[in-house]
Structure 1
Amino acid sequence: MDDQGIVTLTMDMPGQAVNTMTQAFRDAYREAVERIEQERQNIVGVVLTSNKPTFFGGGDLKGLLAAEDAAALFARAEATKATMRRLEKLGKPVVAAINGAALGGGFELGLACHARFAINDGSVQLGLPETGLGLIPGAGGIVRLVRMLGLEAAMSLVLDGVVFSPERALELKLLNGVARDKDELLAQARRWILDNPEASQPWDRNGFRIPGSTPNAAAPLAWLRTAPMLLMKKHRSRYPALEAAMSAAIEGAAVDFDTACRIESRYLANVAIGGVAKNVIRTFFFQMNDIKARKSRPEGVPDASFERIGVLGAGLMGRGIAQVAAQRGISVVLKDVSREQAEKAKSQIESGLQKQVEKGRLSADRMSAALALIKPTENPSDLTGSELIIEAVFEDRDLKRSVTQEAEPYLARGGIFASNTSTLPITGLAQASANPASYIGLHFFSPVDRMPLVEIIKGAMTSAETLARAYDFVRQINKTPIVVNDSRGFFTSRVFGTFTREAGAMLAEGVDPAAIENAAIWAGMPVGPLAVMDETSLTLAWTVRRQTVADLQAEGKPAPAHPHWAVVDRMVNALKRPGRAGGGGFYEYPAGGKKRIWPGLRDHFPPSSTQIPLEDAYFGDGERRFQAIVSSCFAR
């Protein structure tokens, strides 16, 4: 407490790089609030700030990952909110001096204060991103945000997990001001306390009404009627956190503040112990942090950066790789069998970038700079000096051997060679290399400019240095690297193959193609498996299959049989429908119209008279429960 009677509560949890909502924090926070209550008569106001570079990092995700008891989690959330509420209702002004990032629980701590000021720095991020981890804000964030902004505006921030800058927060009136540095920040907080001695939260005052509400509805009726359905249409009830967040908001808007907080706690406890949240937390927090920490990168190898690369093959994948590399400032030699084809690929890259410019996603200058870095050619000698060469030709072992041996001599000293193969084992492909230790797999995904993942495949002879340099390249082009061992199909293609093979088998067994596509969509996939096979090319799938059969025969092993392959064989070879790029496959693509399932598909693969019940395929308890919640809210 200073000589003006202003208490500064500083969060600085020992042994942690950031403050998080651990039990140790909750205990310390409760004890501090109890002391403030005891000394209330001598206190003019309270400033909440941090001694870490960040303000507060959010929930204790390790603790949430281990949580199995919903009742215990509910009680814990309620206890935390009770402490926040005691400070909020102290009868003295409480101000958050946000000196760094305040996300999730950290931002909720700020919302529980009567005013908020933040350092206006590019590194400072604010918001409630919990839905991105399969959770919902559970420390009053939904309840307070709804009462500050209104139901409709608050939901757009919560459901999308929006993270924003201090300037944007100021525009949203979620901050009272911004400061240049911590000294100015604390000065602003203290000044606000002295200027607002009778501060209280709006929702604790008589006559308060949620912004945008009417006596009969908590939000515009048009939004109340459509928002839940639009949410279901987008996520198909396969992402429980989104339904929970909207339900907590809508139900909470119909009751008093403290009841709304209990509703929020119940929804948090429900989603946090579920498998979806735990899987998302593991993948998108802990495993992504491992990637950012470079745990899969061999230690002791100096960091590498690339200025010049070569790409062999100017098809869909090759031009995609060339584009993303050029957009990151890397010079690219794009080689194909003819200059005409290479030039055409560059022209296609330009068309794609121009669309981004027209939509305001890319500046014309940046487009021009990227295109200037791409050199189309048919001459292998133009690859001279490339620090990395990536072959992205068809899945044919002989072709890959040929282009490898043609291009490899032009690598720069110490350069590495990579294959963009999606299935063929890297150890086998590396036999074509004069230096197998410098050969590796870099499996990109289509469309390359939009898909963040790249598989790095380590062959039996791949050196640690090559693996480290490949990892550095993937990070340089702003992609997410996952390192996998060498195996036919690696990791993602085996997962993807299971999805598509099951669809082919279902089609062969007489399941209606529309039922296959819709079942997959309602299961949560962005598009159906037949559409995916069209996009990725049935011809490519059949080429991979033939190469796999040949490889296994050479090894004296039988190729695994599956009814899916008879479907692909018939589509490609008998019906001449190789996929979208070839004019059509399972779907037809009318010029200027929407794609639709090819009418002839049911003639060649007749649906059985007995079909899987659509209700079993599409709907489960989750959708019925959500629909009941929304109906009950309308009934109020």
Structure 2
Amino acid sequence: MSENMIRYERDDEGIVTLTMDDPSAGANTMNAAYKSAMGQTVDRLEAERDDITGVVLTSGKKTFFAGGNLSDLQGVTPETVADTFTEVEAIKAQLRRLEQLGKPVVAAINGAALGGGLEVALACHHRIAVDDDKVKLGLPEVTLGLLPGGGGVTRLVRMLGITEALMGWLLQGQQRSPKEAHAKGVIDELVATREELVPAAKAWIREHAGDESAAVKPWDVKGYRIPGGTPTTPAFAANLPAFPSNLRKQLKGSPVKSPRSIMSAAVEGSLVDFDTASRIESRYFAELAAGRESTAMIQAFFFDLQSISSGALRPAGIERAKVGQVGILGAGMMGAGIAHACATSGIDVVLKDVSVEGAEKGKAHAAKLLDAIVAKGRLSQEDRDATLARITPTADAADLAGVEVVIEAVFEDHDLKEKVFAEVEAVVGPHTLLCSNTSTLPITGLQGFATRPADFIGLHFFSPVDKMKLVEIIRGERTSDEATARAIDLVQQIRKIPIVVGDGRGFYTSRVFGTLIDEGAQLVAEGVDPQVIERAATSAGFPAPPLAMLDEVSLTLTQHIRGEAAKAAAAEGRELTKTPGETVIDTLVDLGRKGRAAGAGLYDYPEGAPKVLWPDLRERWSKGTDIPVRDLRDRYLFRMALETAGCFEDGVLGDPESANIGGIFGIGFPPHTGGPATFMTNYEGGLAGFVTRANELADSYGERFRPSAWLTARAASGTLVDVPAKAAAAS
């Protein structure tokens, strides 16, 4: 296998072309085959050095190189961390030998070079890439709880300087086009087509024949100084204390480790020689790889996302469908956002509201979103106009006659939804997919008024639609597999992420999100200082704190959802008990403080200034209640995770992928945990350890933290579900 992984071809001019092409995989990765092949290749290059003019490194795949093997990395444990360090050092030693071959080595980058792929290219003396905006270059390891361990930190710091390496490439894992990478000095040359890559690489080698400096990296020349200086440089040292401070602001106190490790590796490595810096980088990499954080983030952001995008949740045996025209009912912020998402994906939209003026207002919102993209230079005026022309505003239901899909986006009221669907079903065709963008109302109940319940499905978008990637697809009791498959196809067509869940009030995301904001309000009622409440959430890794989010969704909407739940409970002969947190919300509403849209809620919103917590909030409720920070953080995490477990128990969730991706992308569950399902199973001691900690919280703070008998039983198996995701989605 190793002989085929890297093809070795030397032409009459002595230029060797190395083509990486792993026959056992769709992409080249740093797996065992690569390590063996690269070792043999470097041995041969060194043995034949005197007959070699230069080396071109390219790929036989659509991508250049995909990076490290994430399946292998997920298997790293604290017990095997030393082996991981040894392994990564061996791989880097091969690249270092290539870098110090004494002959110019050119990377001909034909496709994406992310993570280890870009690190391989950075070990070359010259980098040429095809000028294709679809090609992405970057070091996204931080988004997986890792750092670039193949020399990325060490080389970028020496190429660009500490500040540009950290801010421009490493700390946020930015992915850039070849043109952007060229402008930043990481790519040296661009060519128009892939066919020009290898000839251009060979031409550069010919041009530099006899120039020994072309085969030597700047940092291997005595006296080389890192651009911008190091901590020993007075000017740089004066600014160094701001680095960790700015990072803390960026992370908002989040406990995520990888950005801190990246900064440490960059700064520490700048103080020593290249090879020592490389070993420092390897130690940080191995430590992160052995931690729970990287295991969780790799699971969510690679395996779970890959599973969903590849169709694991899609019912099998149904032909894929592409939509040409969509009808949207309701032109408010949500409906207009959905119209924008569809139109930008090439779908014609009939945007209906109760008046033409209302529909035009919705189209104007879409125009505003498009204008913002034009202003950033990412969309031409012509494409903007063509996209906007796809949206047809109307007040006449008859204009919906030809649409293939209807998406209702009116207020959360059962009777109103029944009215608009009755109007629509009278004019649309018999095969039109009927979708309700409800966030709480059970789909099975809404199917009751549909003439074709099998074609009726929930399609829950998140606000703002143009920024939120997730769409929660909800199957009612009578929703067909074909409707589910068509809904998934539409969501992917508009370039969003579909999760599939079962029915129930609040479904998955709204049901779980409600526990977070309720816990925040509960802490207010208990007398905890509001600022402490908010900081505990951001320090736990939540992108926004609960009281601020409660204001965003509005306190009155929370009351409305609670009221609907109370009606449903009463119909079943049950009575819901008002929580202390709900009493806080009711009091604020009675005071006219209904949330951000109303101009006042738990926060004040002074004109032209940032929001601030309402001072009377502290005066009315704070009692100096002191709760350990760990407990505060866990109260948020465990409330949401336990409710997620309840969704599994009730059949609302059938697969961990939907739980994790829905939690992270829909309701802000801390990304470094890997999502609610992984948070439970990846907890110290596994699911059993999670249950033990939940019981501790229940003993201290109430029965809402008590694990159910179902979850306690699942802890013995260590998993939340026994069936594969595909089977669960199709059931």
Query: Mapping of 1:151-300 within 5 angstroms?
Result: 151-155=162-166, 156-179=168-191, 180=193, 181=195, 182-188=197-203, 190-191=205-206, 194-197=209-212, 199-213=215-229, 216-217=232-233, 220-221=236-237, 223-235=239-251, 236-300=253-317
Q: Tell me the CA shift for residue 71 of structure 1.
A: 1.6
- In structure 2, the residue corresponding to 1:411 is in which secondary structure? coil
Question: Is 2:40 the partner of 1:24?
Answer: no
CA 565–204 in structure 1, closer or farther in 2 if over 3 Å, else same? same
Range with greater deviation from structure 2 (78-87 or 344-353): 344-353
Aligned residue among 85, 89, 107 for 1:78: 89
1:397/1:165 CA distance change after superposition, 3 Å = closer
Structure 2 CA distance for partners of 1:259 and 1:218, relative to 1, 3 Å: farther
| 1:563, distance to aligned residue in structure 2 (A) | 2.8
Match of 1:515 in 2: 532
Q: Please tell me whether the aligned partners of residues 142 and 245 of structure 1 are also in contact (alpha carbons under 8 angstroms).
A: yes
**Is 1:422 matched with 2:434?**
no
Tell me the alpha carbon deviations over residues 440-478 of structure 1, each in whole angstroms, 9 at most, x when there is no partner. 000011111111111111112111221122112212222
Match of 1:486 among 503, 528, 533: 503
The alignment partner of 2:129 has SS state of strand
Is residue 611 of structure 1 aligned with residue 626 of structure 2? yes
Stretch moving more, 286-295 or 200-209? 286-295
Q: Structure 2 length normalisation: TM-score?
A: 0.79
Per the alignment, do residues 404 and 146 of structure 1 end up closer, same or farther by CA in structure 2, a change over 3 Å counting?
same
Partners in 2 of 1:443 and 1:61 — Cα distance? Answer: 32
Instruction: Provide the secondary structure at the position in 1 that maps to 2:432.
Output: strand
Q: Letter of the aligned partner of 1:130 in structure 2?
A: E
Using a 3 Å threshold, how does the CA distance of structure 1 residues 318 and 42 change in structure 2: closer, same or farther?
Answer: closer
Deviation of residue 60 (structure 1)?
Answer: 0.4
Query: 1:410 Cα deviation (Å)?
Result: 2.2
Alignment correspondent of 1:600: 616
After the TM superposition, which of the residue ranges 212-221 and 605-614 deviates more from structure 2? 212-221
Q: How big is each residue's C-alpha offset from its partner over 1:535-592, in whole Å with a ceiling of 9 and x where there is no partner?
A: 11221111111111211222334436533322233333x2232222233221222233
Deviation at 1:481, TM superposition (A): 1.2
In structure 2, do the counterparts of structure 1 residues 96 and 463 end up closer, same or farther at CA, with 3 Å as the change threshold? Answer: same
Unpaired stretches in structure 2, ≥5 consecutive residues: 1-9, 634-731
Structure-1 separation of matches of 2:339 and 2:572? 35
**Cα offset, 1:366, TM superposition:** 4.3
Contact 1:237–1:243, Cα closer than 8 Å, also in 2: no
3-state SS in 2 of match to 1:451: coil
In structure 2, give the amino acid aligned to 1:452: K
* Partner in structure 2 of residue 13 of structure 1: 22
Shift of 1:518: 2.0
Spell out the pairing of 1:341-360 with structure 2 (5 A cutoff).
341-358=358-375, 360=377
CA contact (8 A) 1:458 1:483 kept: yes
**Compared with structure 1, are the counterparts of its residues 215 and 546 closer, same or farther at alpha carbon in structure 2 (3 Å cutoff)?**
closer
Quote the Cα distance in structure 2 between the aligned partners of 1:44 and 1:303.
51
Instruction: Kindly provide the CA deviation profile for residues 218-265 of structure 1, in whole angstroms up to 9, marking residues without a partner as x.
Output: 973465232321111011243321111111111100111111001101
State the one-letter code of the partner of 1:607: S
Give the root-mean-square deviation of aligned CA atoms: 2.7
**Post-superposition offset of 1:41:** 4.1
The residue type equivalent to 2:62 in the other structure is P
**CA deviation string 1:279-304 (max 9, x = no partner):** 22122212222233222222333332
- Aligned residue pairs total 617
The 8 Å contact of residues 109 and 130 in structure 2, kept in 1 or not, is answered as yes
- Matched ranges for 1:103-142 at <5 A: 103-142=114-153
Tell me, in whole angstroms, the C-alpha distance in 2 between the residues paired with 1:82 and 1:384.
66
Q: Which residue pairs with 2:593 in the alignment?
A: 577
Q: Is residue 36 from structure 1 mapped to residue 35 from structure 2 by the alignment?
A: no
Aligned to 2:6: none
Cα 1:97–1:477 shift into 2, 3 Å: closer
Any idea what SS the aligned residue of 2:142 has?
A: helix
- Identity across aligned pairs (percent)? 50
- For 2:11 and 2:151, locate their aligned partners in 1 and report how far apart those are by CA, in whole Å: 30
Q: Which moved more, 1:188-197 or 1:504-513?
A: 188-197
TM-score for both structures, normalised by structure 1 = 0.90
Q: CA-to-partner distance for each residue in 1:323-358, whole Å, 9 max, x for gaps?
A: 322333433333334444444444444445545555
Q: CA deviation at 1:416?
A: 1.1
Note if contact 2:529-2:624 (Cα within 8 Å) is conserved in structure 1: no
SS at match of 2:327: strand
8 Å CA contact retained: 2:121, 2:127: yes
Q: Closer, same or farther in 2 for the Cα pair 1:368/1:28, shift >3 Å? A: closer
Moved more, 218-227 or 413-422: 218-227
Are the counterparts in 2 of residues 94 and 193 from structure 1 also a CA contact under 8 Å?
Answer: no
